[in-house]
Amino acid sequence: MGHSYRAVGWNRQKRVYDLALIAGIVLYLATFVGVGFTLHPGATAETMLIRALGTGAFLLLHLVLAIGPLCRVDSRFLPLLYNRRHLGVATFVLGLLHGGFALVQFHALGDLNPLVSVFVSNPRVDSVAQFPFQPLGVIALVILFLMAATSHDFWLANLTAPVWKSLHMLVYLAYLLLVGHVSLGVLQAETSPVLAGAVGIGMAGLLALHLLAGASEVAVDRGRDAATGAAGSAAGHSSLGLSSLREEDSAFVDVCAVSEIDEKRARLVSVAGDRVAVFRYDGKFSAVSNACQHQNGPLGEGCVIDGLITCPWHGYQYRPLDGASPEPFTEKVPTFRVQIRSGRVLIDPTPLPAGTPVEPALIGEGASDG
Amino acid sequence: MGEPEFYVGYLPRAPRRLARFVRALVIALVATSVVFAALMAGSQGAFSNGAFEFGVERDFTGWIETEPYPMLVVERPGGGWSTYLLSGVGKHGAESEVGSGSGYWASLRGSLIYRDGQTMIEVSRGSVVPQVGPDSGSFGEPAGDAGSGSASGAKPQPDLSRIEGVGGERTFVGEIVDSKCFLGVMKPGATKPHRACATRCISGGVPPVLLVRDGDGVATYLLLVDETGASVGRQLVDRALIAEPVRVHGKLDQLGDRWVLRADPSRIERIE
């Protein structure tokens, strides 16, 4: 977390992840080159390598882009997300090798600087069909480089989360550029429908996954809003009979019944467009903003471990009491006031400044209410 | 089912059920990617039968013609002359190796590039040695075995006079490629993915040819020159006419065993 940084701390899980990644890449390249030369003994090694590396990088990018929505749909994919940046760096390395070999093959040993040649040797920008495809690949590679170079949390902290997040959202631009790179390049030379079909299926698959994940997010918000609205009214209605109700208490909105929150887990509620995670732990209830300070991970899908709210994405932790990471870490999220009334959990939807201590609500105190 | 498991990446081990799921998932992903690799590799279009004897040097002797593009002319054993286009190393023509002006007898060292009965020689740097004149040309001797330029007796230059317009005035539809890559250095050495390379090669002085295929896909190579018979590479690069379908109207000459198409480069049309 936001403390001090080592290059990378490899634990067993990370080693297993990287071993599987490297083995997968080696198997992919070996299969491509092996099958390629078996079926096409007259092929040149450079062409085979360029194609193996290019298709490998493109395939890996699909996996990188699929992991996010997959995790929204099914949390069992989260272990793939934890070290997703390794996949990103590997994608860049494969792309760099692909681009490097292509640069030497198509542009080196000529009458122009190869890096200039990439941009000027096909000047047909006036035609869609003849449009140069190599510059698109170069721009995508630059984006992948920026992402790989800033993938360490050191950069996340120093660039600030919004800048870092915006930079890394450029992966979608890189993907579109690469679709253009492939469509305007090799697809125009190959007659087999396999590659075109694969590109199409890849695009459709990614689009479907993102729509599915988006729909489930919308459903979460709508469901919570509806529940909050209905329950809030009910709570408000029932509160009309309470002569002792303090004015400030009327701001509280209903979240759910106490029994609906599992121990060490949270219930999400959407209030005024913000998501709030209400955690239950050791008979207490605390609420914090749902967005992890690290990468906006969904804290509400996290778990209380060792008394600390733990983000499901990268394990960043916060105290339920004040939304602050334990020393020496410095991350803080906004907190919310919580009450228990008549066996129901209510929160004040007004966020308190990040790190503000809030007394947790206790089940016992709620029993006497109402 | 039991308690829902929770994954934290920096802990030493993943929860048991989750680990099992991820293991199966990773195996499935790797297996899928291997199948995908085989599919991708297998679906590639056919590679040409061209060859480039990269790293293999041979000795050649013959008449060097410098215009419109450098070529080596070797007398065939049964009479007549064969022409071999020359290129420099990399994406360069052979002009810097053979010079310009009148032709001359010479020995040189180089690597063969060949396809469909067409042969080119990539001339090794600094290997061209002018000669007084050999008794006959020699072609493709292993490096070091050929004469070293001491052949005796002057010999007149080959009778390689251009037979102008012998093929008539014709219009061809084809693709302009660089003769070096297309013959075997690159696979593929044509179509759009190869355009940048072909452009650099032709810009560097590698002879441009119009590749014309008949209905059966059999290729004919027409060496491209302008109306005056001079090299035309620069104009083709400037007009971006390389590696896409074009229509060329011109006069078909014969130069030794080679077809040469004389055409005004400003009138070459792209076929969109």
Predicted confidence (pLDDT) per residue in A101-150, tens digit: 999 999 999 999 999 999 999 999 999 999 999 999 999 999 999 999 99
- Return the pLDDT at B84: 96
Chain B environment of A28 (Cβ under 8 Å) = 33-34, 36-37
Residue A233: per-residue pLDDT:
35
Q: Where are the alpha helices (DSSP H) in B139-241?
A: 179-180, 195-203, 233-238
- CB contact (8 A) between residue B204 and residue A110: yes
Residues B85, A97: Cα–Cα separation, whole Å: 33
Q: Are B71 and B38 in contact (CB under 8 A)?
A: no
B62, β-bridge pairs: B106
Residues 6+ apart with CB under 8 A from B27: none
Strands B51-52 and B81-87: unpaired
pLDDT digits (tens, 9 = 90+) for B60-104: 999 999 999 999 999 888 888 899 999 999 999 999 999 998 899
Domains and CATH numbers, chain A: 12-190 (no CATH), 246-367 (2.102.10.10)
Please name every residue paired with B91 in a beta bridge, in sequence order, or none if there are none: none
CB contact under 8 A, B203 and A110: yes
Task: Identify the pLDDT of residue A6.
Answer: 56
**Contact assignment for A310 to B36 by CB distance below 8 Å:** no
The per-residue pLDDT for range B96-133, each reduced to its tens digit, is 999 998 899 999 999 999 998 899 999 999 999 998 75
Question: Which position has the token pair 């070996």?
Answer: A30
Q: Is the pLDDT of residue A197 over 90?
A: yes
Q: Are residues A44 and B191, on separate chains, in Cβ contact within 8 Å?
A: no
Instruction: Check if CATH label 3.40.50.720 holds for domain B163-270.
Output: no
Residue A30 reports pLDDT greater than 80: yes
pLDDT band at A4 (very low <50, low <70, confident <90, very high): low
Residue A1 confidence (pLDDT):
52
Task: Say yes or no to pLDDT of A238 above 50.
Answer: no
Residues 176-235 of B with CB under 8 A from A: 186-188, 191-197, 199-201, 203-204
The pair of structure tokens assigned to A205 is 């698959």
On the question of a cis peptide bond just before residue A162, with omega within 30 degrees of 0, the verdict is: no
Where residue B152 falls among pLDDT bands split at 50, 70, 90? Answer: very low
Alpha-carbon gap, residue A35 to A50, rounded angstroms: 15
The confidence score (pLDDT) of residue A300 equals: 94
- Over residues A14-25, the mean pLDDT reads 95
Q: How confident is the model at residue B145 (pLDDT cuts 50, 70, 90)?
A: low
Instruction: Provide the pLDDT for residue A363.
Output: 80
pLDDT confidence of residue B50: 93
- Asked if residue B73 lies in contact with residue B82, where contact means CB atoms within 8 angstroms, the answer is yes
Q: Evaluate if residue B136 carries a pLDDT over 70.
A: no
pLDDT of B168 higher than 70: yes
Read off the pLDDT of each residue in A173-185 and give the average, rounded to a whole number.
97
Q: Which pLDDT band holds residue B147 (cuts at 50, 70, 90)?
A: very low
Question: Residue type at A214?
Answer: G
pLDDT tens-digit map of A43-84: 999 999 999 999 999 999 999 999 999 999 999 999 999 999
Q: Is the pLDDT assigned to residue A232 strictly greater than 80?
A: no
Give residue B159's pLDDT band: very low, low, confident or very high (50, 70, 90): confident
CATH topology of domain B51-142: OB fold (Dihydrolipoamide Acetyltransferase, E2P) (2.40.50)
Bridge partner list, A102 = none
Q: What is the pLDDT of residue A370?
A: 35
Do residues B244 and B175 touch, judged by C-beta distance below 8 A?
A: yes
Q: Which of A75, A109, A112, A134 to mutate to test the interface with B (most CBs of B within 10 A)?
A: A109
- Asked if residue A201 has pLDDT above 90, the reply is yes
Find the largest Cα–Cα distance for chain A: 90
Distance CA B242, CA B223 (A): 14
Long-range CB contacts (within 8 A, 24+) of A277-281: A277/A302, A277/A309, A278/A336, A278/A338, A278/A345, A278/A347, A279/A304, A279/A309, A279/A320, A281/A307, A281/A320
Mean of the pLDDT values across residues A159-182?
Answer: 94
Give the residue-averaged pLDDT of B144-170. Answer: 66
Answer whether A76 sits within 8 Å of B22, measured CB to CB: yes
Predicted local distance difference test score (pLDDT) of residue A2: 52
Instruction: Say which residue the tokens 């085979």 belong to.
Output: A48
- C-alpha span between B107 and A158 (Å, rounded): 65
Give residue A35's pLDDT: 98
- Closest chain A residue to the Cα of B42, Cα to Cα: A36
The pLDDT tens digits of the residues spanning B198-243 come to: 999 999 999 999 999 988 888 899 999 999 999 999 999 999 999 9
Residues of chain A in contact with residue B13, where contact means CB-CB under 8 angstroms, are: 12-13
- The alpha-helical segments, DSSP class H, found in A150-259 are 153-159, 161-169, 171-184, 193-239
Look at residue A366 and tell me whether its pLDDT is greater than 80: no
- Which pLDDT score is estimated for A132? 97
d(CA B23, CA A236): 50
Strands (DSSP E) contained in chain B are: 51-52, 58-65, 71-75, 81-87, 104-115, 118-123, 129-130, 138-142, 163-178, 208-213, 219-225, 245-255, 258-263, 269-270
Of B9, B47, B199, the CB nearest to A13: B9
Q: In terms of Cα–Cα distance, which of B130, B76, B135 is closest to B103?
A: B130
Prior bond of B142 cis (ω within 30°): no
Taking the mean position of all CA atoms in its chain, how far away is CA A67? Answer: 8
Nearest to A332 by CA among A350, A351, A347: A351
- pLDDT recorded at residue A237: 30
Under an 8 A CB cutoff, do A40 and B47 touch?
A: yes
At how many degrees (to 10) do helices A171-184 and A193-239 cross? 160
Global pTM value: 0.88
Higher pLDDT, B270 or A156: B270
Supply the pLDDT for residue A222: 73
pLDDT more than 90, % of chain A: 75
Residues 86-115 of B with CB under 8 A from A: 89-92
Does residue B1 register a pLDDT over 80? Answer: no
pLDDT at B133: 55
- Ordered by start, the domain boundaries in chain B are 51-142, 163-270
Round to whole Å and give the CA distance between A220 and A227. 10
Bridge pairing between strands B219-225 and B208-213: antiparallel
Distance between CA atoms of residues A123 and A92, nearest Å: 27
Express each pLDDT in B199-210 by its tens digit: 999 999 999 999
Alpha carbon B167 to chain centroid, angstroms = 24
- Angle, to 10 degrees, between the axis of helix A193-239 and the axis of helix B16-42? 150
Residue A124's closest chain B neighbor by CA?
B240
What is the pLDDT at residue A3? Answer: 54
Mean pLDDT, residues B16-42 taken together: 96
Q: How far apart are the CA of A278 and the nearest CA of chain B, in angstroms? A: 18
Say yes or no to pLDDT of A8 above 60.
no
Task: Tell me: pLDDT of A336 over 80.
Answer: yes
Distance between CA atoms of residues A134 and B47, nearest Å: 22
pLDDT over 80 at A249, yes or no: no
Res. A248: pLDDT tops 70: no
CA atoms within 13 A on the CB side of A325: 18
C-alpha closest to that of B82 among B74, B71, B93: B74
Give the one of B4, B18, B45 whose C-beta lies nearest to A192's C-beta.
B45
Taking contacts as CB-CB distances below 8 angstroms, the residues of chain A near B9 are 11, 13-14, 79, 82-83, 314-315
Please tell me the distance from the alpha carbon of residue B125 to that of residue B87, in angstroms, as a whole number.
Answer: 10
